[in-house]
Amino acid sequence: MPEAHLVLFLIIAATIAGFAWGRLRYDVIAGLALLASVYSGIVPASAAFLGFGHPAVITVAAVLVISQGLQNGGIVGWLVRLLAPTRTSTSLQIAAGSGLTMLMSAVMNNVGALALMLPVTLRNAARARRPASLLLIPLSFASMLGGTITLIGTPPNLVVSGFRDEYVGQPFALFDFAAVGLAVSCVGLLYLSLIGWRMLPRHDASDFGTLFKNTLAPFLTEVRVPPASPFDGKQVREIEDLCDNEITIMAIIRQEGDRFYAPRGITRLRIGDELIVEGDPSVWEPLCDGRRLEPLRKDTHALKPLRSEHVVLANAVVMPNSQLEGQSVRGIRLHDNYGINLLALSRQRGPLRSRLKNVEFEVGDLLLLQGERKTLARVLDDLGCLTLSHRSAMSDGSRHSFWLSMLVFAVALAAVALDLVSAPIALVTAASVFILTRLISLQDAYNSVEWPIIVLLGALIPIGHAMTSTGAAGIIANSLIDIAGTLPLWAIVAIVMAVSMWLSDLIHNTPTAVLMAPVGASIAETLEVSVDPFLMAVAVGSASAYLTPIGHQSNTLVMGPGGYRFGDYTRVGMGLEAIILLVGVPMIMFVWPPVKTAFGP
């Protein structure tokens, strides 16, 4: 049997390739990697699932629940009122909106902070008549910058803190990351506000009016149910099934004036009904033979409105872990099961219309939907989509809820900062209080946890431990030291940070931290210096996935609304990553100097 570290290298290489490939979800890949490690004997079967009890996993879950509880308490609605006067210039608007996102993501989940601020930013951009594309990449990058400020700001910080506890017997404290994180975040925000946004394209892909004009109107027609039509008495569902669900009946206008927008599948047609039909003309035109249906007009600009007092159009983005991810309209029966219609879909600056019902949804897709006003927002929430229009994205909450949520969270943070209890205990306690005081329902608490992240962490942590037990981390560490030669320690710290950045851009920040933390610790052990600067370099580097839209969920989330292409991230992100290296490495060397020691702090 090959040596253990060689087998582990093969498993890690296959795992990284799977993450980069992107066809399987990252939690599935992590689970397969764990199973491969167990079956090959790299990870003992008795230790296979110990990662799910790791403090980092528990803390991440608690932070996600608390983030949702803070949103329910109205904290965001209170904060965004500060942004109204900042629309006078692009730089000021980015500095204010992205700065607020950065501060929130220091104590909240990164994606949660971004999701709360995204609709607000789009609304403010529209009121300032400013392209949303200038604002959304800075917003996404700011959500990641803010995560570097505190222990709970991002999973990589929790991962490296856990490894520090195992190596030197003490984890990082809540604000141990603040000095380096604040320096990096503030300089990064300055770059985004003054320089970065100028490299971005100028367009607004979130305007559903543009989506309607460019992608939907050519696929709409008006038809009438003529006398003696065999469709008299047929259900909407039956007509759509007759066309293999390639068409959607968007509205029914009765002779007596009644109108049914986004009609349910069980609605029955009558003689004289006028229908607004959406779909490929090659599919519905054969039905317009004058006997079954008769066409009314070809001028789609004269079509009756698709919204009314009770039916609205809304823009939404497919969120990470949405029920729609990987599903098609045909497969999930969006209209029949949920009573909403998909009118258009935009992805990577390209609107999609051809065979729309067969397109599989991806995270970040921008959707134009039609549905009943009273149910559309709830349905989209249930499906895991972020609504960008039709409603406020914030929960205003009551004054009592706002102050209660702030008080509970502040007490938890104080308990951690004063070292009264550990971070997992304090945050789980705060999450429990949120549930008991009904700041968040039990169902919403479970729904707020990103279970794929939990599985990812739980599955990869044993592999991270195997990096040390098999000697794989030491081999990589020695190779890096050999390459570095006689370089000073600060240069080796910079190399560790740069490698972590590169991996994070290709895969995910959490597995990057799990894989690089043992390597950083092994480098410190080989050089006989304290482990802290190398773990800090791993934490900052792992949280810096700025070159691609796939390295972090925040980047993926703004791709559709911003209409971005792959290169837009690289153009702005290269400068930001260079700044992080130039600022982060000196700050690490100053705050966490590599003191000469056998091993440890």
The structure tokens listed for 23 are 């066809």
One domain for residues 78 and 94: yes
Q: Which string of b and e fits 123-138 if b means at least 16 CB within 10 Å?
A: bbbeeeebbbbbbbbb
CATH number of the domain within which 311 lies: 3.30.70.1450
* Range with the poorest average pLDDT among 24-33, 47-56, 302-311, 479-488: 302-311
Distance of alpha carbon 117 from alpha carbon 139, whole angstroms: 8
For Cα atoms 8, 34, 174, give the angle at the middle one, nearest 5 degrees: 95
Tens digits of residue pLDDT in 89-113? 889 999 999 999 999 899 888 888 8
Does residue 543 fall inside a structural domain? yes
- Would you say 554 and 108 are in contact if contact means Cβ atoms under 8 Å apart? no
Tell which wins on pLDDT, 598 or 8. 8
Lowest mean pLDDT among 44-53, 392-401, 403-412, 546-555: 392-401
In a domain, 599, yes or no: no
Q: What is the mean pLDDT of residues 494-509?
A: 90
Q: How far apart are CA 546 and CA 141, in angstroms?
A: 7
Please check the confidence at residue 216 and state whether its pLDDT lies above 80: no
Instruction: Please check whether residue 219 lies inside any domain of the structure.
Output: yes
3-state secondary structure 122-179: HHHHHHCCCCHHHCHHHHHHHHHHHCCCCCCCCHHHHHHHHHHHHHHCCCCCCCCCHH
Sheet containing 259-261: order of strands: 259-261, 247-253, 274-279, 220-224, 294-297
pLDDT at 125: 82
Q: Are 201 and 280 part of one and the same domain?
A: no
Q: Look at 58 and 348; give whichever has higher pLDDT.
A: 58
Q: pLDDT tens-digit profile of 431-488? A: 999 999 988 989 889 888 888 889 988 999 999 889 888 888 888 888 888 877 778 9
Residue 395: the pLDDT is: 46
Tokens 């972090």 sit on residue: 552
Note the pLDDT tens digit of each residue in 505-549.
Answer: 888 888 899 989 999 999 998 888 999 999 999 999 999 999 988
Q: Is residue 292 part of a domain?
A: yes
Helix (H, G, I), strand (E, B) or coil at 93: helix
Identify the pLDDT of residue 352: 59
Same domain, 454 and 375: no
Is the pLDDT higher at 300 or at 370? 370
Report residue 168's pLDDT band, with 50, 70 and 90 as the boundaries.
Answer: confident
Return the pLDDT at 431.
Answer: 94
Higher pLDDT, 395 or 114: 114
**What CA–CA distances, in Å, run from 122 to 76, 97, 131, 135?**
15, 11, 9, 8
Question: What one-letter code names the amino acid at 188?
Answer: G
Q: What is the DSSP letter of 19?
A: H
* 401 within a domain of the structure (yes/no): no
Gap between the Cα atoms of 253 and 304, Å rounded: 9
Low-confidence winner among 169-183, 382-396, 462-476 (lowest mean pLDDT): 382-396
Clarify whether residues 433 and 563 are in a common domain. Answer: yes
Q: How, if at all, do strands 311-318 and 366-372 pair? A: antiparallel
Query: Is 40 domain-assigned?
Result: yes
Residue 567 lies in a domain: yes
Q: Is 486 in the same domain as 538?
A: yes
Residues 345 and 273 in one domain: yes
In a domain, 601, yes or no: no
Q: Which residue has the tokens 């003490």?
A: 170
Q: Which phi and psi angles does 387 have, rounded to 5°?
A: -80, 130
> Do 100 and 241 belong to one domain?
no
CA distance 242 to 229: 15
Domain boundary among 387, 415, 450: 387
Please indicate, yes or no, whether residues 10 and 109 belong to a single structural domain of this protein.
yes
3-state secondary structure of 12: helix
Least confident of 258-267, 391-400, 419-428: 391-400
Among 284, 370, 359, smallest CA distance to 329 is for 359
Residue 197 structure tokens:
């946004």
Which amino acid is it at 54? H
* Residue 198 shares a structural domain with residue 218: no
Q: For residue 242, what are its two tokens? A: 């007759």
The rounded distance, in Å, linking the Cα atoms of 148 and 537 is 11
C-beta separation of 543 from 185 below 8 A: no
Q: Are residues 415 and 344 in the same domain?
A: no
Structure tokens at 97: 């909106």
Answer yes or no: do 162 and 280 share one domain: no
Give the pLDDT confidence score for residue 1 in this predicted structure. 41
Asked which of 320, 352, 387 is the last residue of a domain, the reply is 387
Residue 223 sits in the same domain as residue 288 = yes
Helix (H/G/I), strand (E/B), else coil: 422:
coil
364-377 burial code (b ≥16 CB/10 A, e <16): bbbbbbbbbbeebb
For the chain, the domain total comes to 2
CA distances from 325 to 126, 313, 368, 392 (A): 28, 21, 16, 24
Residue span of the structural domain in which 537 resides: 4-205+406-591
Helix/strand/coil for 111: helix
Domain boundary among 387, 419, 443: 387
Query: What is the C-alpha to C-alpha distance for residues 461 and 207, in angstroms, rounded to an integer?
Result: 43
